[in-house]
């Protein structure tokens, strides 16, 4: 395919749920067609339906940049375990945070860790 389709963000850099700011890593749950994004500059992790990219919501962080248990500082990578727990590489805090799944955020699958690399071809 030579034409891309926006499946998350795409409305300029910002912190609304339809915006991202430096999406550093992502995970695609093929079963639910859901994308999980480490939104680095917004210090949060977003859950976005690939079928409805404007309907994303925050599942971790988004409480300002910081080092408290409910905060992130430049999340770099994400992973999910078989129980649905989310692991976040909290880059500027030099730690890995675990967020337990809840009824509003279910994760199913094996352990994954993905770092996004973009290659531009001209």
CATH number, residue 84: 2.40.10.500
Q: Looking at residue 102, what is its pLDDT?
A: 60
Q: Looking at residue 85, what is its pLDDT?
A: 84
- Return averaged pLDDT per consecutive 10 residues of the chain, 122 residues in all: 82 89 89 89 92 83 89 91 85 90 42 39 41
Q: In the beta sheet, which residues pair with residue 78?
A: 88, 114
Structural domain includes residue 87: yes
Q: Looking at residue 70, what is its pLDDT?
A: 87
Quote the number of domains for the chain: 1
Structural domain includes residue 121: no
Structural domain includes residue 26: yes
The torsion of the CA quartet 34, 24, 95, 79, rounded to 10 degrees, works out to 30
Q: Looking at residue 1, what is its pLDDT?
A: 64
Are the CB atoms for 62 and 71 separated by under 8 Å? no
Burial group, residue 69, by CB count within 10 angstroms (0-12, 13-18, 19+): exposed
Structural domain includes residue 122: no
Q: Looking at residue 23, what is its pLDDT?
A: 93
15-21 contacts, C-beta under 8 A, 24 or more apart: 15/42, 15/62, 17/46, 17/54, 17/55, 17/56, 17/57, 17/58, 18/53, 18/54, 18/56, 20/46
Structural domain includes residue 60: yes
Q: Looking at residue 120, what is its pLDDT?
A: 41
Q: Looking at residue 52, what is its pLDDT?
A: 80
Q: Which domain holds residue 62?
A: 1-116
């Amino acid at each position: 395919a030579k034409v891309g389709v926006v499946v998350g963000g795409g409305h300029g850099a910002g912190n609304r749920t339809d915006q991202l700011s430096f999406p550093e890593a992502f995970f695609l749950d093929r079963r639910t067609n859901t994308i999980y994004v480490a939104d680095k500059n917004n210090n949060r992790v977003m859950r976005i339906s690939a079928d409805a990219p404007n309907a994303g919501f925050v599942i971790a962080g988004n409480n300002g940049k910081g080092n408290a248990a409910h905060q992130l500082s430049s999340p770099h990578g994400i992973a999910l375990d078989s129980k649905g727990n989310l692991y976040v590489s909290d880059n500027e805090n030099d730690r890995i945070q675990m967020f337990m799944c809840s009824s509003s955020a279910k994760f199913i699958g094996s352990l994954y860790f993905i770092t996004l690399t973009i290659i531009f071809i001209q």
